[in-house]
Structure 1
Amino acid sequence: TTEADGVGKFYPKQIKRADLFEYIEDELLAIENLLAEPGTSSQQADQGALWMLLARMYLNAEVYTGTPRWADCITYANKVINSGKYELNDNYRQNF
C-alpha cells in the first residue's frame, strides 16, 4: 500500500481468525522465557504481562478458534496470581 493507491482500491490479504490466534499464541509462547521475571521491571513488559495476555486470549479462544480453552486460561491466570507480584487494590473503584 502506498499513497498512490486510492482509498478502497487495495485490501490486504485476509486470514482466518483461528490462524491469527495461533500465530499470536506461538509468538508469545516463543518469547515467554526471554522476558524478565514478573515484577522486576516497571519499564517493559515482563512474563506477568505475557501470562495475562495469554489468559485473556484463552478466555476468548472459542470466539476465535471455535474451541474453548478454559483450562489454559486458568493455568496462565494462576501463574499471574501465584507469582505474588500483582494484587488488586483494596478499594474496588481504584482498580480501574
Structure 2
Amino acid sequence: MTTPPLIDQHGNHRQQHGAPIHHVIRFTTRGPERHPHAYLQCVTVRDCRKGELPLVEIKHANHPAYFFTDLTPDDADQLGDALKQAAQRAREVTDALQARWGL
C-alpha cells in the first residue's frame, strides 16, 4: 500500500485525523448513548484556490444545530490526539509547499 502525497499537483491537501467522535446525548446504565448523526471530525485542509497555508479544522458534521459537544474523558483524549496529529500534518504540508513553490 502506498502513502498518498501530502499535496497534489495543485497544492491541495485534505486528510481526516482519527475517527469521528460521536456526541454523547445521555448516560445509561450500559454507558454513554451517542447521537448517530452528530459527531466531531478533525481534518487538515489546504485549498490552492484560496492561497492559504494549511488549516486544522474541527467540524460538527451532520448536525449543525449542536453548538457544543459532550465528550467522555476517553473521547476528549481521542480528540486531543487527533488535534496533535493534525497540527503536525499541517506543519508537514507547509514544509512541502515551501519546498515545492517557496510559499
Q: Please indicate, yes or no, whether the TM-score normalized by the shorter chain is above 0.5.
A: no
Which has the larger helix fraction?
1
Which has the larger strand fraction?
2
The structure with the larger Rg is 1
Q: Relative contact order, CA 8 A, sep 6+: which one is greater?
A: 2
Taking structure 2 as the reference length, the TM-score comes to 0.29
